[in-house]
Amino acid sequence: MFNISTQALFAQLLVGLINGSFYALLSLGLAVIFGMLNIINFAHGALYMMGAFCAYFLLNVLGINYWMALILAPLLIGFLGVVLERTMLQRLAGLDHLYGLLLTFGLALIIQGLFQNYFGSSGLPYAIPQQLTGGQNLGFMFLPNYRAWVVIFSLTICLATWFAIEKTKLGAYLRAATENPTLVRAFGVNVPRMITLTYGFGVGLAALAGVLSAPINQVRPLMGADLIIVVFAVVVIGGMGSIMGSIVTGFALGILEGLTKYFYPEASNTVVFVIMAIVLMVKPNGLFGRA
Amino acid sequence: MTTTPIKPVSPAAPERSETPIIMGMIAVLAVLPLLGVYPYFVMQALCFALFACAFNLLIGYVGLLSFGHAMFLGTAGYASAHAAKVWGLAPELSILFGTLASGALGVLVGLIAIRRQGIYFSMTTLALAQMIYFFYLQAKFTHGEDGIQGVPRGLFLGVLDISKPLVLFYVVLAIFVAGFLLIYRTINSPFGEILKAIRENEPRAISLGYRTARYKLAAFALSAALAGLAGATKVIVSQNASLTDVRWEMSGEVVLMTLVGGLGTIFGPVVGAFIIIAMQQYLAEFGQWVLVIQGVIFVACVLAFRRGIVGEAAKVLRRNL
């Protein structure tokens, strides 16, 4: 029963799960940022790319390995996010949300353009860390260790973020500030600082996804440009009202995309957009969205 | 939290007719090639100006920021290039076919996209445009990365030989003026007033009995068709249709043109289109730096220059421009 085509099916499912991990990490970051800042961060894809480049430089210039990069890159890029928020995004408070989209789109153009100038469009290789080379033969398929790690680690990070926001005291402050920043401020909470750190955290998640993807997809200046559009569709499908919703939608759409690659490869590029169109017709606020 | 919606400056000064300015603009455009400005440059800029005006109809007068307008520019481009080259249709019929194709796509996309407002609308249009891009990337008739090259020009309306640059120029100018005046007429019509009412306060417009979804759909389809007119004309000018016109970068470019000129102003998109196209011409040798510079302009405009050039001028002169 486990013939070649079943193997191919599971292989595509795994690709789908991997992509789903990135969709989930990125849409989670977008949702967290949108909740606090009311900004759709168009630069998310560019910052994801910077996370991957950061890991590449840490390894090739400073000799810092993958495991340290997994911690350092999100911190460094997250700090860049904090600087961007403090110098630019903060000034948009009170303006139409669309200005945030336009500003971050401009930032994405700048970042991607700069990287393209120096690195062209081709990919730079990033080796899989020694501890995670090889794979397991599961009988019905061959599972590369690194890919299994990406899925499990992403899922852990997503669930930890969900727990931190929904179940801890800090998360309660955050949710309260999302609902009514003025009132939370009156209780003595430093809301502007919280907003800045939230943006830094969301950006850090994007950078983390970038580091994870570096050994799978090569490190390219435009690696985030097309991805962010798919993630936008994911966000529209899920609606940004729920943290768990972003995670579930991200993984589910990755898997669906993988299945499409197996059953009808011609549509694999467009399936997420088609689903988005259907969801908008049936449930305009998204699967997990609030009216 | 109160937010300031994107809208044009509404000066308290009495309404003054824009007709003299429109006449002046047409006169200046008409003599540009006679003053030694390269006609091809002006034609390209005119196509983008019309494209930006069509985009501006949505953001400026309905308050909808489409981040996927390249799909209409590109669809009309492919449709008219195919009609002219494969079917051998006359140029005016090819342009008409392209315009109608984009209008039809506009109705379909509009039905889906106008179900959400604000930021979701922008993301939806961007995603749908990407879907259209992948369709053209894979479809046979577009010839993928090569595009449709060597689109014939032929005789416009059976008499005008548009293989001559100057004749072509005045045909393109006529098309631009027709599109511009149609938009101008639309925003000053009762229909346009209802659109502005929807932009200002949609629930209120609904409570007054307007079926706002229909008005938004009509505006979206009109904007798509006019963007298509620009795309179809552009293809006749450049004689090729390519994937460049459907990419998301193109959708971003038209946003930038309109932002630089002034969102929701009458003449802003035209001014912005000429500036951005001129900038691309002069900076072509710098390659990717053009993208970086465009990004810097985006950031600068949003942070410090939200009214755009024409919007600032309108504020100084205290009138609608």
CATH number for the domain spanning A87: value is: 1.10.3470
A82 domain-assigned: yes
A177 domain-assigned: yes
- Residues of chain A in contact with residue B247, where contact means CB-CB under 8 angstroms, are none
CA distances from A24 to A17, A155, A257, B92 (A): 10, 8, 14, 48
Distance CA B245, CA B72 (A): 9
Domain that holds residue A193: 4-113+141-282
Which of residues 87 through 126 in chain A touch B, CB cutoff 8 A? 88, 91-92, 94-99, 101-103, 105-114, 116-117
Per-residue pLDDT tens, chain A, 291 aa: give them: 455 678 888 888 999 999 999 999 999 999 999 888 888 999 999 999 999 999 999 999 999 999 999 999 999 999 999 999 999 998 988 888 889 999 999 999 999 999 998 888 888 999 898 888 888 888 778 888 899 999 999 999 999 999 999 999 988 988 888 888 889 889 888 988 999 999 999 999 999 999 999 999 889 999 999 899 999 999 999 888 788 889 999 999 999 999 998 889 888 889 999 999 999 888 888 888 765
Domain that holds residue B157: 39-247
A71 domain-assigned: yes
B292/A281 touch (CB, cutoff 8 Å), yes or no? no
B110 domain-assigned: yes
- Residues of chain A in contact with residue B131, where contact means CB-CB under 8 angstroms, are 270, 273-274, 277
DSSP assigned state of A128: P
Strand partners, B161: B155
A125 domain-assigned: no
B290 domain-assigned: no
pLDDT in tens, B89-120: 999 999 999 999 999 999 999 999 998 888 88
Q: Name the 3-class secondary structure at B44.
A: helix
How many domains, in total, are found in chain B? 1
Instruction: Assess whether pLDDT exceeds 60 at residue B47.
Output: yes
Name the residue in chain B with its Cα closest to that of A180: B1
Q: Name the 3-class secondary structure at A95.
A: strand
Interchain CB contact of A287 with B (< 8 Å): no
Q: ipTM for the complex?
A: 0.90
- Residues of chain B in contact with residue A285, where contact means CB-CB under 8 angstroms, are 116
Q: What are phi and psi of B154, to 5 degrees?
A: 70, -160
A270/B134 touch (CB, cutoff 8 Å), yes or no? yes
How many domains, in total, are found in chain A? 1
Residue in B126, B140, B280, B289 to test binding to A, most A beta-carbons within 10 Å: B126
A272 domain-assigned: yes
DSSP letters of B78-122?
A: HHHHHHHHTS---HHHHHHHHHHHHHHHHHHHHHHHTTS-HHHHH
A236/B119 touch (CB, cutoff 8 Å), yes or no? no
A175 domain-assigned: yes
The answer to whether residues B55 and B183 touch, using CB atoms and an 8 Å cutoff, is no
B298/A236 touch (CB, cutoff 8 Å), yes or no? no
B116/A284 touch (CB, cutoff 8 Å), yes or no? yes
Q: Name the 3-class secondary structure at A96.
A: coil
Name the residue in chain A with its Cα closest to that of B129: A273
A14 domain-assigned: yes
A119 domain-assigned: no
B219 domain-assigned: yes
Distance CA A65, CA A99 (A): 39
Distance CA B303, CA B301 (A): 6
